[in-house]
Amino acid sequence: MTKQFNIDRFEEIEDVMVDVEASINGNDEIVNETKAVPVGSREHILNLQLVMATTSVNHEYARIEYEESHDPERKEELMYYMSECRDKYDDAREELSDTNPLVLENFESDLVRQKQSTMVHYHA
């Protein structure tokens, strides 16, 4: 059985992820509701990696569900969801590329290997 995604589930995930579009103040810190995270800090980089990993895996599960679905409305919801995942991934990727390109390169290589080893989908 494939994991079901819907708009409510996506909004719950958004609440957990760091807002990569957060405004940057004059001290090069990302302003978060709870605290300021210095740009380029270990925590900042980890937050960007978290967004990338989460959205990448969620996109993959949604893609699998899309392939299995026969409901046009559900497919439309999944297309929207995958688009949102991709946009968030791209935003975080761009910011990580600007912050530390070497970390980005290594992280994406690891992410591809992880997905290849864990995202196995069998068709009956």
Instruction: Give the C-alpha separation, 52 to 46, whole Å.
Output: 10
Q: What is the pLDDT confidence band of residue 2, given thresholds at 50, 70 and 90? A: very low
In the three-class reduction of DSSP (H, G, I as helix; E, B as strand; rest coil), residue 36 is classed as strand
What's this model's pTM, rounded to 2 decimal places?
0.70
> What distance lies between CA 42 and its chain's CA centroid?
18
The per-residue pLDDT of the chain, averaged, comes to 79
Q: Mean per-residue pLDDT for 88-101?
A: 96
Instruction: Give the C-alpha separation, 26 to 59, whole Å.
Output: 34
Q: What are phi and psi of 118, to 5 degrees?
A: -115, -25
Task: Please give the sequence-ordered ranges of beta strands (E in DSSP) within 1-124, or none if there are none.
Answer: 29-31, 36-38
In the DSSP assignment, the letter for residue 2 is: P
